Structure 1
């Protein structure tokens, strides 16, 4: 093992120990976030490229790794929920109402994802890819999420109320909820294969992504176990934007969203930012991605970008952040209702 690789590992462990000082779970969350960032870059696993291939090339195989990850997460989460009482676990379910603004947000997020060429987690992972426009996309995401947090309450008042949050466990036993989710996913796969002309398994290239799927699912489930809640990429970025705005003189009390006591308490000091689980994971994913990029290419350097590329990355990040907050998260993560 080279000195450089050892330095990245020692750095991750040292940061984990620092965060875990008095808060063991925070140290575990950091190390798991580093693992997710490393895995995303090492296996080149992503969502935006798969969706683009699915739509533009009618390639259903592009969706198979994502479907496999969903299956692993559904089954793994069900297992953790079934062990919640025996092991004394405390897991928080994410709930979000089904509003028209959610559909608008998802639409904007999809446009931003294709402009930037990555999703929320993919933006963090792009830190390990030289010339990826990471700083611009990240800046756009932070600004977009913060702007979305300021505007979402007003937009939700202007749009029809929609439906309340749908949580299957409120009305179904755990096994039935799992079967229903898997059945819906199977129907989606059948519909996609019909749309794509039944290119059922293609060349089987998607199977090379199975190790990434299994490792990512394991890391995300362990993260759920350590933090007690799902990974919240956009929430961590929103907190970052709110702290930065407050440092520039913005008053959280002027915002309907941030003026709530529970949320304003998160903005009391830089330490409250550093101790937040969502922020820790986001920082850890960036660190893990940088480490993976350095391992692969020897260093992580920024390449010059053309003006059009800069606008794509910044604009894509803004749309993803803004729309993602309206839709309560990105592809596999959530943000507070």
Structure 2
């Protein structure tokens, strides 16, 4: 389908949401469209940024992500400090976080996408990511079924820097830590390229910088409109949970996760009322609009590669629930809103990524 008729369909759906659901949900769908268009248009991939840092000693992707975090924190933390009705993306430091973050970082390289990456690439019609998406949703749902057990292994109360220190100190500490990480990344890549005799690669590329600015603005709008930070994974798990409930495959009323009041209520509502789901639908639409009329280019996979990718997608979803989010919900939203669990998530996921890249190379993916 070409862009113009697709734009008309998206506009009609937006109008229908505005008329029959709510102004807020229509606004979140529009924000999702923007997020999907930016992610696909700039090919702003969290997974890719980490991969080119490790394999090509190129810092531009990670520096773009650090700029995104800094800009988002600079906008989100003052809002959280002045408007207590807004919530941060808090997750408890726990055994489940440690295991989930490592496994997620490993699997996202094999499946070639984190939560947002899988979503926007599926919207673009890339076959592997399109197939991985439902596996991701099933895995996220399975993770939610077992989350209570994982938390019983050991968990602390969530720690939010904004509520603990105030937004000014929280922001200063966050920006300082991000600057230190950026300096370390630059020193590492320059040293590695110098030792290998390679030409120094540009530190800043337009696609990463522009993507960071636009995503930070859209994520801040999402925080204001939704009352909570941008997330992806919860929507996937909810979709699978609703299917399990609708088909009678499982009674979720006694499950620790789905019996909690907020989650139980969402099971009985349309997904169009869930803020994460409606944004995810928008991301699919925005990515589809960017790719409209263009054939999806992707490497053909062997049977073994397909099996590996689908299993990785299932485990990716499971681990994302244990880790309280993906690169968006745990890393981006966690760090930018002052949650300690976001800072714990990053190094463990990065270590997992190193192992995931080895597996990816082993299977030629």
Q: Is the 8 A contact 1:120 1:234 kept in 2?
A: yes
Equivalent-residue separation in structure 2 for 1:118 and 1:220 (angstroms): 19
Change (3 A) 1:290 1:105: same
Deviation (angstroms), 1:81: 3.2
SS of equivalent to 2:329: coil
Deviation (angstroms), 1:303: 8.6
Change (3 A) 1:82 1:253: closer
Query: Partner residue of 1:246?
Result: 245
Deviation (angstroms), 1:135: 2.5
Equivalent-residue separation in structure 2 for 1:61 and 1:284 (angstroms): 27
Provide, for residues 31-70 of structure 1, a one-character-per-residue CA deviation record: whole Å limited to 9, x for no partner. Answer: 1101111111111110111111222333333311111111
Query: Partner residue of 1:235?
Result: 234
Unpaired runs of 5+ residues, structure 2, are 195-199, 335-340, 342-365
5 Å matches for 1:40-189? 40-81=39-80, 84=83, 90-157=85-152, 159-161=153-155, 163-189=156-182
Unpaired runs of 5+ residues, structure 1, are none
Provide, for residues 9-45 of structure 1, a one-character-per-residue CA deviation record: whole Å limited to 9, x for no partner. Answer: 2222211121222510100000110111111111111
TM-score by length of 1: 0.88
Deviation (angstroms), 1:94: 2.3
Deviation (angstroms), 1:156: 1.7
Deviation (angstroms), 1:261: 3.2
- How many residues end up aligned between the 2 structures? 325
Q: Which moved more, 1:183-192 or 1:138-147?
A: 183-192
Equivalent-residue separation in structure 1 for 2:14 and 2:302 (angstroms): 37
Query: Partner residue of 1:206?
Result: 205
Q: Is the 8 A contact 1:274 1:280 kept in 2?
A: yes
Q: Is the 8 A contact 1:72 1:214 kept in 2?
A: yes
Query: Partner residue of 2:218?
Result: 219
Change (3 A) 1:59 1:5: closer
SS of equivalent to 1:332: helix
Provide, for residues 153-192 of structure 1, a one-character-per-residue CA deviation record: whole Å limited to 9, x for no partner. Answer: 11221x233x321111222121111000011111222233
Equivalent-residue separation in structure 2 for 1:288 and 1:311 (angstroms): 29
